[in-house]
Amino acid sequence: MDSFELNKILGAVLFTLLVVMSLSIFAGEIYAPAVPEKPGFIIEVAEAPAGGEGGAAAAAETPIAVLLASAKVDAGEAVAKKCAACHNFVEGAGSKVGPDLYNIIDRPIGSAEGFKYSGVMQTAHADGKKWTYEHLYTFLKNPKTDMPGTAMGFAGISKSEDRANLIAYLRTLSHSPVPLPAPEAAAPAEAAPAAGEAPAAPAAEAAPAPAAPEAAPAPAATEAAPAAPEAPAAPATPAPEAPAQQPATP
């Protein structure tokens, strides 16, 4: 191949590259996307006012001690199927992705043998915390909110009745089930006054009703009017003396 043919080939290649590069620049000018000053998207979320409806709804949540009184074990066993992919429920079955849940009620946190717990669970274990009814109730609602840093990837169970049923089922997984908490022990305490708000004044004791005025004593019966003076008795008229009998004439 002579140099002339080689130059034609190189020229064609260069021309093709030049056309492709020109088209790329031209297309970039036409379809140039608008780049925002700050990358990403802004998602506006309305924050619930503190102490507003959101706080009232949270405060109105039924305590676990009350829910357990009517919880259904069969329904809780159905809810537990959500946990079966990561946990065992049979005694001695050992851990899976998560620790086994047999005899979980009142068990010290982070105490399953052979399972490597996250740092927050190890700290709770060192502090002597246990999986009480109340702690399980709040933890199962949102694990990452209740114990930030946990490796558990479960989103949680929002419905309080489902959590109560699940806990009632977990309670049966034991040779000696932990006694249920008394519902009266979960009665909410009186609400504390908000910051800067003066405490409510104690209710004033009801003033004793004034005694009804005594009835005025009945006036003494008026004394009987003195009897009218008796009319003086008329003097008896002396009977006329009989004339002396004349002596008989001899």
Q: How many CB atoms lie within 10 A of CB 138?
A: 17
Question: b/e string for 154-172 if b means 16 or more Cβ within 10 A?
Answer: beebeebbbbbbbbbbbbe
Predicted pLDDT of residue 204: 45
Predicted pLDDT of residue 8: 81
Residues 6+ apart with CB under 8 A from 80: 89, 166, 169, 170
CA dist., res. 168 & res. 170, Å (int): 6
Q: How far is CA 42 from CA 48, 49, 65, 163, in A?
A: 18, 21, 42, 34
Confidence class for position 193, pLDDT limits 50, 70, 90: very low
Average the pLDDT over each of 48-52, 133-137, 162-166 and give the range with the smallest value.
Answer: 48-52
Average pLDDT estimate for 76-105: 89
Handedness of CA 100, 103, 106, 111 (dihedral sign): negative
> Helix or strand or coil: residue 215?
coil
CA dist., res. 234 & res. 242, Å (int): 23
pLDDT at 202 over 80: no
Q: Nearest 5°: CA angle at 25, between 24 and 26?
A: 90
Question: How many H-runs (helices) and E-runs (strands) does the chain carry?
Answer: 8, 0
Handedness of CA 80, 81, 87, 92 (dihedral sign): positive
Choose from 26-30, 50-54, 102-106 the range with maximum mean pLDDT.
102-106
Domains detected in the chain: 62-181 (1.10.760.10)
Q: How far is CA 154 from CA 11, 98, 129, in A?
A: 64, 11, 21
pLDDT in tens, 140-154: 999 999 999 888 888
Write down the mean pLDDT value for the chain: 73
Q: How many CB atoms lie within 10 A of CB 79?
A: 21
pLDDT in tens, 205-238: 444 454 554 554 444 444 444 444 444 454 544 5
Longest CA span, the chain: 242
Per-residue tokens: 173: 């997984």
Asked if residues 143 and 156 have their Cβ atoms less than 8 Å apart, the reply is: yes
34/210: higher pLDDT: 34
141/239: higher pLDDT: 141
